[in-house]
Structure 1
Amino acid sequence: MSVVKAKKHLGQHFLTDKNIAEKIVGSLIHHDKYNKVLEVGPGMGVLSDFLLQKKEFETYLIDIDTESFLFLQKKYPDLGDRLLNEDFLKLNFEDIFQASFAIIGNFPYNISSQILFKVLDNRNHVPEVVGMFQKEVAERCTAKPGTKEYGILSVFLQAYYKCEYLFTVKAGVFNPPPKVLSAVIRLSRNEVKDLSCDEKLFWQVVKAGFNQRRKTLSNALSGIIPKEKQDDNKIWTLRAERLSVQNFLDLTNLIAQSV
C-alpha cells in the first residue's frame, strides 16, 4: 500500500513510533463515560491501529485530507461511514453522535487552539480528550496561575476540564519531524455544568485581562467596568495571570453587581 505524503498546509506530521501511539491510546481512561471515540487527523492510521483493537468502544476517524481518507478506506474497509472525509472544525457532532464521545488525535499544530475551542463549545458531549500538541500549547493548557504559560486557554479549559500534562515527545518520531517538541495531554470533564456566573461576561473578563496581561486588572478591565465603579477589593491591583479559575468567577460576579 502506498504512503500518504504529509502536507505542510494541513500541518501534518505523521507519528511513526508505534510504542508512543499505543501509549497515547492507553491514556484514554474514562471508558465508563462514553462508548464512542473520534480520532482527528489519523493520517496513515498509526493511532487508529491501536484504537480499533479496543472493543469497548466504536472508533470513528475524520480527516480533511482526501489522500489520507482514500488510504484509510483501503486500510480499514470495514469502517464504512465511521470514516469521514470532513473538516473537524465544521463537524456537527449531533448529526453523528447521539451520546457522549471521546476525542483523540495527533492534532495538526496549525489548528490546535481551534480544536480546543471546538471541544469547549461541545463540552457537555465530550467527557475526555487525549491528544498530541505542540509542547508550548500543551503547557498553556495545563499551566497554573502565576506562570508565564498561564493564559486565556488555561482558564477556559480548566473551568470545565481537569487538564493533565502526560509526557513529552521528541521530533524524531514524526515524518516529517516538526521543528518543535510535542507533548500529550489529557482533558477530563469535571462536574461543572454551568459556571456560577454570567458565562458571556466571564469570557469577556478573561480575554480582556490577558489581552493586556502586563497591566493590573483595574486598567485591563476598565473597558468593561470603569475605574470609578471599581471598589477597594485588592483583586484590582493584581494581573490576570495571578487569578485562579475561581478568582475569575468571583471577579465576574463582582463586576456583574457593579455595572
Structure 2
Amino acid sequence: MSEPFQHRARKRFGQNFLHDAGVIHRILRSIAPKEGQHVLEIGPGQGALTEGLVDSGAKLDVIELDLDLIPQLKWRFGLKPNFSLHQGDALKFDFASLVGAEDDKLRVVGNLPYNISTPLIFHLLDHAPIIQDMHFMLQKEVVERLAAEPGNGDWGRLSIMVQYFCRVDYLFTVGPGAFNPPPKVESAIVRLVPYSELPYPAKDHRVLERIVREAFNQRRKTLRNTLRALMSVEDIEAAGVDPTLRPEQLNVADFVRLANRLSEISADTAQGPSA
C-alpha cells in the first residue's frame, strides 16, 4: 500500500530529506541501536532513519516541528509500542522530561537543519549528564569545526566548547545527491560522546565560555591583546599560558587554565582586601 501523504521540503524549516538507502544503512550501522536502549531522534522528517531505529527494538522518542509531517509519522509508526511522537521545537524542548530511571540515558540522533545545528548542540550539552552519545548529520564545514585540532584554521569557539564536554569523531562525508532536494553543500556524520568525567574541569564553564569568546573575537591577535579587558599579562602567565600566543594555538586544557585563573581573580576581588 502506498503512503497517502505527499510532502514538499520546506525552506523555512531547512528541510532536506535523506533518501539514499546506502547512506541510511551506513548511518544506522554507525549508531547501532539496540533493544533496551533509549533513542531520541530530532527532526525525523519523512522517517528515513526512523524505520531502522524503531525496528531495532530500542525505545524511540521523536521530536518533529513541522505539523504537516505529523500525520505521516503517525501513519507509519504510530502503532509501534516502542515509538513516541512529540510535536515541538527541539531548541525549547526539555529533554530531561523523557528520562525516567536514574540510569536511563538518551542516544540522540538527528539530520539537523543547518540554521539551528549549533544552538541545538549547545542546548543538548546543557543536558550532557543524561546523554550517552549523539549522532548528527550536519553541514560538512560544521563537522570540520567540531572535530578540529589546535593550530587548524577551523579551530575556534565551537571546537573548544564542544570538545570540553565531548569526544568528537568525524565519521564520514555525505554528498548532496543523498538528499531531496539536494543541498548546495556537502554534509557529514559526526559522533559526540559526552565525558562521564571532564578531562579538564573548569571552576565555572560560563567563565570558560567568556574567555573563549573574548579570545576568538580577534583571533589573529595575541592573547595579551584579546584578553586585555579580562586578564593582565601576569595573570595569563600565572595560568601557565604564553601571552604572546594566538588563541588558535591553545588547546582545551590551556583555555581551562585561563578560565580557572580568571575565576580565582574574580573570587579574590569579590572578597575584597583582607583585614
**TM-score of the superposition, structure 2-length normalised?**
0.87
Sequence identity of aligned pairs in percent? 35
Cα pair distance change 1:176/1:191, threshold 3 Å:
same
Q: Which residue of 2 aligns with 1:166?
A: 171
Match of 2:49, SS state, is helix
Query: Which amino acid in the other structure matches residue 148 of structure 2?
Result: A
Counterpart in 2 of 1:204?
210
2:215 matched to 1:215?
Answer: no
Q: What displacement does 1:188 show?
A: 1.1
User: Contact 1:40/1:61 (CA < 8 Å) preserved in 2?
Assistant: yes
- Equivalent of 1:250 in 250, 257, 260: 257
Query: In 1, Cα distance between the equivalents of 2:42 and 2:63?
Result: 5
Identify unmatched segments of 5+ residues in structure 1: none
Residue in structure 2 matched with residue 145 of structure 1 by the alignment:
150
Give yes or no for contact 2:235–2:261 (8 Å, CA) kept in 1.
no
Unaligned runs of 5+ in 2: 267-275
Question: What are the equivalent positions in structure 2 for 1:4-23 lying under 5 Å apart?
Answer: 4-23=7-26
Structure-1 separation of matches of 2:97 and 2:62: 15
Tell me by how many angstroms 1:231 deviates: 4.2
Of 20-29 and 238-247, the range deviating more from structure 2: 20-29
Tell which has more relative contact order, 1 or 2 (C-alpha 8 A, sep 6+). Answer: 1
The structure whose Rg is larger is 2
The 2-side partners of 1:11 and 1:73 are apart by 22
Superposition TM-score, scaled by structure 1 size? 0.92
Cα distance change on mapping 1:238 and 1:177 into 2, 3 Å: same
2:253 maps to a residue whose letter is Q
How far has the Cα of 1:191 moved from its partner?
A: 2.8
Residues 98-157 of structure 1 show CA distances to partners (whole Å, capped at 9, x for unaligned) of 231011011111111011111111111112000100000010111011101111111111
Q: Cα deviations across residues 65-103 of structure 1 (Å, max 9, x unaligned)? A: 011111101111225771111111111112222231011
Q: Tell whether 2:192 aligns with 1:187.
A: yes
8 Å Cα contact 2:139-2:186 kept in structure 1: yes
The aligned counterpart of 2:271 is: none
Deviation at 1:42, TM superposition (A): 0.8
Give the SS at the match of 1:46: coil
Contact 2:107 2:132 (8 Å CA) reproduced: yes
Decide whether aligned partners of structure 1 residues 236 and 90 sit closer, same or farther in structure 2, where only a CA change above 3 A counts: same
Q: Which letter maps to 2:43?
A: G
Match of 1:52 in 2: 54
Matches of 1:43 and 1:172, distance apart in 2: 17
Which of 180, 200, 206 pairs up with 1:175? 180
